[in-house]
Structure 1
Amino acid sequence: MMAFRRFKNAKIFVAVCFVVLFIMTYMTYTDNSKATSLYKFREQLWRFMSPRRQCGCDTCVAEPEASTWFDERFNLSVLPLLSKQNNVIPDTVYKWWLTLQGETKPKDIYEVMEELFEVIPGDLDLMDQGPYRCRTCAVVGNSGNLKSSNYGPEIDEHDFVLRMNHAPTARFEKDVGGKTTHHFVYPESVRDLQANVSMILIPFKTLDLQWLASALTHGTINRTYVQVPRKIRVSKDKVLVYSPELMKYVYDKWLLNHGRYPSTGLLAVIFALHVCDKVDLYGFGADSKGHWHHYWENNASAGAFRLTGVHDGDFEASILANLTSINKVLMFRGR
């Protein structure tokens, strides 16, 4: 009798598993918005079999104990965006942030943020981690090693595609992809974006936040330390603001105070570690000949930005190398 009950329970368990897998398979193959059905099915099966994991991917960025080096630096409690809910900047962070571009008489930061969040929603939360989420992200740098890489289709398969500064895609789609979900800029590097792209402003000074509110409304500010656009073409509902607290966290915990402040590329990578489950890096570092030019430039000897002393390029490269060696990111080195 006992053996019969065990057999019956085993049959019920197998039947339930079959139903669950059938539903998952059906959802996978009928979801035309997903580019790779078999890949998604494999991830969904993994989620079902591993409910206690940090995420639904086969490996998860946020999982601890993979590396002491990583665990000493990674702090998921540091929120990546300024928002209506996350709008208090610690005094030590604020004082450091004011020194980045030498502001001496800035407008009250909380008054500026209040005005800004009357223009943009300031309520989007990307920190929706869970054991069933598998958010894949491609952080696309601007290195010339992307030339002739043919990475484009692979980049576009990611859930999030993060780009930075000027980063043109037109005419370069074969190598860099055509999809962008989030674009990191500061006022001096801003560009018009398509309506479905989220602009992430990296503010290096109070005036940057004032400029953003102005550029989305009346357009009265047209200069920071150089000329900047009075108006920008971007959807207000998709404008996000990088948190100064995350900037200082990157500088203190990851850069160990090397250079004056982090590069846009490193800020984008650490941002991705906080909002993504799987992170792939493209277009970072020199090309195979040691050149540091951008992929849209024909001058292979360009890249004098490495000599300014603002960013410690070599130390930043060592951070990416360490992240790669412990499988927290996958680096695609191009040509």
Structure 2
Amino acid sequence: MFRVSVNRLVSFLMIFVCFFMIILSVKLFGSTNSPRFLYIERKAEIDNVNRQNNILTESSNKQSNLQLDEKDKIKKIQSILGLPSNFIHHANQLPGKQLEGIQEIINDYLGTNDIPAEKTLNNIMKLLFINNSRVVEPSSNLTTQKIQEHSAEIRVLSINKLLERPPPNPPKIQRVKPNDLPYIRDDSYKPSQCPNSYTQKAAHSSWLRERYIPNVKMFLSKEDVNVFSTYHKLSHYGLPFGFARENRTLIAEVLNHPNYKSTSAYGTLSNKQCTRCAVIGCGGVLKGSGKGPEIDAHDHVFRVNRALTKGHLANDVGKRTSFYTFFPESDYSREIEDTETVDFFYAMFKSYDTAFSRNILNEIPPPLYKSSHRDPWQPPMPKVKVEQLRILHPDFLRYAFTHYLDAKSARPTTGALVVFLAMHLCDEVNIYGFGYDKRFTLHYYDTGFVEHTDAMMSAHDVDNERVLWRKLHEEGLITLFNRTSLHLFKHRHVSINTCTCLYRHMYTSIWTHVHVYIDTCTRLYRHMYTFI
């Protein structure tokens, strides 16, 4: 009986202790007034206050930046761009006039075609000093490069907005042959009214008729990169025939640049009904030819590569230059006598050439060229008037390569491209200095005799081009200047190779029959005298 009472007493005691522990724990940890909860609440209040203060401070800073007076704006721009205190002609000009001067400096680079003038200064200022992460270190002098670097960032943002986005499921790029896809046409094409135009020639020449596309697009415009369907078509081929693997934004930066004039050249060369053009190559066949006055008598003169015309060379190749075609490695624009009146045609054969063209339009030195095939190379600054620069369309290069050169070799020569440009821009084309001939030195400006080597022409099929020039000449589509008597050989069924063979084997009877002696052939071979 006693034992049962003790057990019950112990049970009641344990229940009481547990109940007491529960009450104590609630008192200690359940109250929001405990030190722990007071600390957490206090910290949350402090963080909230700090956050509000930061928002107010940031808002205040932005407001103060946006509400800077004109003098403070000028001081900030001077510090960031390194403008001297007297960068305007008169340092004591009113702040408004100085801001106008800054606007003119910026507009010299950006232009006002794509970005409204009233927004340009605000964008530059916002980029330069409202966003502190992009502030540049001050310098002692104003440098064009600083303005260009910061302005370029704005242009990239605006250019990306110009690019049409691809559809949700864009068509895949298929592997195609050079002649598989249709060629882009120029909507602004204007046919020539000359009765002897190439359109009329094609009507009488079946050979030309099956090759000639009169309205193929010759020069790039911003639509070729901004419009997705056009860009997608050009993305099937790599340079020089398309934009595959190229940076679309970089190409858009070039073609949307305010300095780039992408107007069509069709029907703009001359007010004359029929236009005569001369295309001048660098072949040694011109050396001592005395064809300079004849060349200059044409309405327009096309030149390529190292187009030297100074001094005594003018008597052989003329002085005038209307159009000059080049790419980075072939740029000799500094040697052209009068670049103010010259239109420049630029060909892009590789990725570097796109960046090169961008720098031309920005009027800054070309970028360093790095390649596994050669040492790093810094091209000189081209002497090009940027407003007169046009970039050859990849489809035009593909058209010339497939329709006339049968897609042989890696690509056509720049000389071949210029001949076909002239055939699309002119009504009569005469070419000089074309068709490599081992009897003559390599170039007309060589001081000594330079022999032809296959290594020099590894990217081109010069034999194929030589045959092409003769074919165009025989079809009456061009006139090919040559220092041998083509009509004599044609009537006598004797080729130039026969002349060489006769000279080597001393077959004199045929030469005697046509009253031409071996001595004459020798002088022709060694001294490049005219055969006729």
User: Does TM, scored on the shorter chain, surpass 0.5?
Assistant: yes
What is the distance in 1 between the residues matched to 2:426 and 2:405?
21
What is the distance in 2 between the residues matched to 1:127 and 1:86?
18
State the Cα distance separating 1:305 from its structure 2 match: 5.3
In structure 1, give the amino acid aligned to 2:342. V
Name the counterpart of 1:10.
none
Name the counterpart of 1:61.
198
In structure 2, give the amino acid aligned to 1:71. R
Name the counterpart of 1:266.
416
Farther-moved stretch of structure 1 (169-178 vs 79-88): 79-88
Task: Select 1:143's aligned residue among 283, 288, 303.
Answer: 283
Farther-moved stretch of structure 1 (88-97 vs 161-170): 88-97
1:76 aligns with 2:214: yes
Identity of aligned residues (%): 27
Q: Aligned runs of 1:154-233 on 2, under 5 Å?
A: 154-171=294-311, 172-191=313-332, 192=334, 193=336, 194-217=339-362, 218-219=364-365, 221-223=367-369, 225=371, 227-229=377-379, 231-233=381-383
Q: Is the 8 A contact 1:200 1:240 kept in 2?
A: yes
Relative to structure 1, the CA distance from residue 71 to residue 214 in structure 2 (aligned partners, 3 Å threshold; closer, same or farther) is same
Structure with greater helix share of residues? 2
State the Cα distance separating 1:298 from its structure 2 match: 2.9
Relative to structure 1, the CA distance from residue 228 to residue 208 in structure 2 (aligned partners, 3 Å threshold; closer, same or farther) is same
Relative to structure 1, the CA distance from residue 333 to residue 239 in structure 2 (aligned partners, 3 Å threshold; closer, same or farther) is same
Q: Is the 8 A contact 2:236 2:244 kept in 1?
A: no
Describe the superposition over 1:6-49 as per-residue Cα deviations: whole angstroms up to 9, x where unpaired: xxxxxxxxxxxxxxxxxxxxxxxxxxxxxxxxxxxxxxxxxxxx
State the Cα distance separating 1:185 from its structure 2 match: 0.4
Name the counterpart of 2:440.
291
Gaps of at least 5 residues in structure 2 are 1-190, 484-529
Name the counterpart of 2:505.
none
What is the distance in 1 between the residues matched to 2:417 and 2:389?
17
State the Cα distance separating 1:233 from its structure 2 match: 1.9
What is the distance in 2 between the residues matched to 1:228 and 1:180?
27
Q: Is the 8 A contact 2:344 2:390 kept in 1?
A: yes
Q: Is the 8 A contact 1:94 1:244 kept in 2?
A: no
Describe the superposition over 1:31-68 as per-residue Cα deviations: whole angstroms up to 9, x where unpaired: xxxxxxxxxxxxxxxxxxxxxx95336x3222122221
Task: Select 1:115's aligned residue among 244, 248, 254.
Answer: 254
What is the distance in 2 between the residues matched to 1:116 and 1:85?
8
Q: Is the 8 A contact 1:201 1:242 kept in 2?
A: yes
What is the distance in 1 between the residues matched to 2:474 and 2:370?
40
Q: Is the 8 A contact 2:278 2:301 kept in 1?
A: yes
Q: Is the 8 A contact 2:279 2:303 kept in 1?
A: yes
Relative to structure 1, the CA distance from residue 275 to residue 281 in structure 2 (aligned partners, 3 Å threshold; closer, same or farther) is same
Describe the superposition over 1:229-263 as per-residue Cα deviations: whole angstroms up to 9, x where unpaired: 35322111111111111001111111111111101
Farther-moved stretch of structure 1 (297-306 vs 235-244): 297-306
Task: Select 2:469's aligned residue among 314, 320, 324.
Answer: 320
State the Cα distance separating 1:308 from its structure 2 match: 4.0
What is the distance in 1 between the residues matched to 2:440 and 2:215?
37
Name the counterpart of 2:90.
none
Q: Is the 8 A contact 1:214 1:230 kept in 2?
A: no
Q: Is the 8 A contact 1:84 1:122 kept in 2?
A: no
What is the distance in 2 between the residues matched to 1:166 and 1:260?
22
Name the counterpart of 1:16.
none
What is the distance in 2 between the residues matched to 1:224 and 1:61?
42
In structure 1, give the amino acid aligned to 2:365. G
SS at match of 1:240: strand
RMSD: 2.9
Q: Is the 8 A contact 2:401 2:411 kept in 1?
A: yes
What is the distance in 1 between the residues matched to 2:368 and 2:277?
34
Q: Is the 8 A contact 2:281 2:304 kept in 1?
A: yes
Task: Select 1:98's aligned residue among 239, 251, 262.
Answer: 239
Describe the superposition over 1:183-203 as per-residue Cα deviations: whole angstroms up to 9, x where unpaired: 010011112242211111111
Q: Which has the higher contact order (CA 8 A, sep 6+)?
A: 1
What is the distance in 2 between the residues matched to 1:324 and 1:306?
28
State the Cα distance separating 1:177 from its structure 2 match: 0.3
SS at match of 2:199: coil
Aligned residues: 279
What is the distance in 2 between the residues matched to 1:332 and 1:141?
11
TM-score, scaled to structure 1: 0.74
TM-score, scaled to structure 2: 0.48
What is the distance in 1 between the residues matched to 2:280 and 2:394?
22
Report the structure number with the largest CA radius of gyration.
Answer: 2
What is the distance in 1 between the residues matched to 2:212 and 2:241?
23
State the Cα distance separating 1:283 from its structure 2 match: 0.8
What is the distance in 2 between the residues matched to 1:155 and 1:142?
14
Q: Is the 8 A contact 1:188 1:227 kept in 2?
A: no
Q: Aligned runs of 1:24-63 on 2, under 5 Å?
A: 54-56=192-194, 59-63=196-200
Name the counterpart of 1:24.
none
